[in-house]
Structure 1
Amino acid sequence: MRALTSALLITTLLLTGCSDNEVGNVSLGLFTTKDIKINTFTDPVVSGVTCHISHVKGNLDLSDPSDMGISCRQTGPITLDMVNNINMSKSGEVVFKTSKSILWKHLKIRRIWDEKNKTLIYLSYSTKETVGSAKHSMTTVPLWGNPVWDQLNQPDSAQ
């Protein structure tokens, strides 16, 4: 049993990090083992978008809290080819996922395309309800003012 517990703890430690791109680490105080981690990732399809995610990480816990925050901004060129390669469905697609506990709880980030407003929506959420509420956070990257805006508004641009 002890070997199984140790294996689960090692697996949890390997999986619960948001990414290897940690840019911030804020202690929640002297009498707690929890920190707020700030990680960054770039959208795998729209490489001109960078997201920063804040989430609580317990150094000795087997399950981290479900709360998180997200902010995404355009940090490079976005091309029509990139936009044409994203999932245009109402539910979008998962662009990032990490474990937040030994079993079942994950932090996911889903990209959704708002066709009418030509805006990328990034929704971060926990896959496990906490006290009757699914925790989530949302941010948007509007393409207005971006050179791709005019191409997207042309009637012949295939979506």
Structure 2
Amino acid sequence: MKKILFVVALAATLSGCDNDEVGDVSLGMFTMKDIKLNHLVDPVVSGVTCHVASVEADLSFSDPSDSAISCRQTGEITPEMIANIDKSASGEVVFRKSKSIFFKSMKIRRIFDVKNQTLMYLSYSTKETSGSFKHSLSTVPLWGTKAYQSQPQQ
């Protein structure tokens, strides 16, 4: 009886570890791979939410590198938020997730396109797979928000 209670408690603890997961799609009983759907609220521009789909392989040392990202405005975006982001050409990492015990990770980087007043969110793998680095891009225009500037500063 104690063993059963321990296993149930452990399972409940582990299932609560990934509280940003909003979906889980099995790729089949014999594949041992699932597509995990997660949400991420930008830590600085809190009016932006990204949904990321990535494959995770159970009982494997490395997850596949493929991922997809879609970001949308889900709240207010203010000039103060934009003032607090990294505006360099390489932007800044807003999310990181390990995909392997061999130093592979998936990162999401926010880059601001000043000229077009658009936030770009780039999801990418840090390790080359099958001759290419896997990546996906989503954009959130500032048009219609308080942060939009008709004559952007260069």
TM beyond 0.5: yes
Q: Is residue 102 from structure 1 mapped to residue 83 from structure 2 by the alignment? A: no
Q: 2:135 matched to 1:153?
A: no
Identity over aligned pairs, percent: 64
Q: Which residue of 2 aligns with 1:85?
A: 84
Please give the secondary structure, in 2, of the residue aligned with 1:30: coil
Counterpart CA distance in 1 for 2:28 and 2:65 is 19
Alpha-carbon distance between aligned partners in 2 of 1:153 and 1:88, rounded to the nearest angstrom: 18
Return the offset for 1:29: 1.1
Letter paired with 2:139? T
Match of 1:20, SS state, is: coil
Structure 1 segment 9-48 matched on structure 2, within 5 A: 19-48=18-47
Shift of 1:121: 0.1
CA drift of 1:154 comes to: 5.4
Shift of 1:131: 1.1
Counterpart residue number, 2:118: 119
Task: Quote the Cα distance in structure 1 between the aligned partners of 2:151 and 2:55.
Answer: 44
After superposition, give the CA deviation of every residue in 1:23-70 in whole Å (9 maximum; x if it has no partner).
Answer: 000000122100000000100100000000000011111100000000
Alpha-carbon distance in 2 for matches of 1:47, 1:63? 31
| Matched residue, 2:143 | 144
For these two proteins, the number of residue pairs brought into alignment is 139
- In 1, distance between residues paired with 2:136 and 2:52? 10
Give TM-score, length-normalised by structure 2.
0.85
Q: Distance in 1 between matches of 2:108 and 2:151?
A: 30
Q: Extract structure 1 runs of 4+ deviating beyond 4 A.
A: none
1:60 is matched with 59
Query: What RMSD over aligned residues (CA atoms) do the two structures have, in Å?
Result: 1.7
Partner of 1:40: helix, strand, or coil?
Answer: strand
Q: 1:147: Cα distance to partner?
A: 2.9
> Structure 1 length normalisation: TM-score?
0.83
Q: Secondary structure at the match of 1:44?
A: coil
Where does structure 2 lack aligned partners over 5 or more consecutive residues? 1-13
Distance 1:80 1:119, change over 3 A: same
| Aligned-residue offset at 1:20 | 2.4
Rounded Cα–Cα distance in structure 1 between residues aligned with 2:141 and 2:151: 17
Aligned AA (2:44) = V
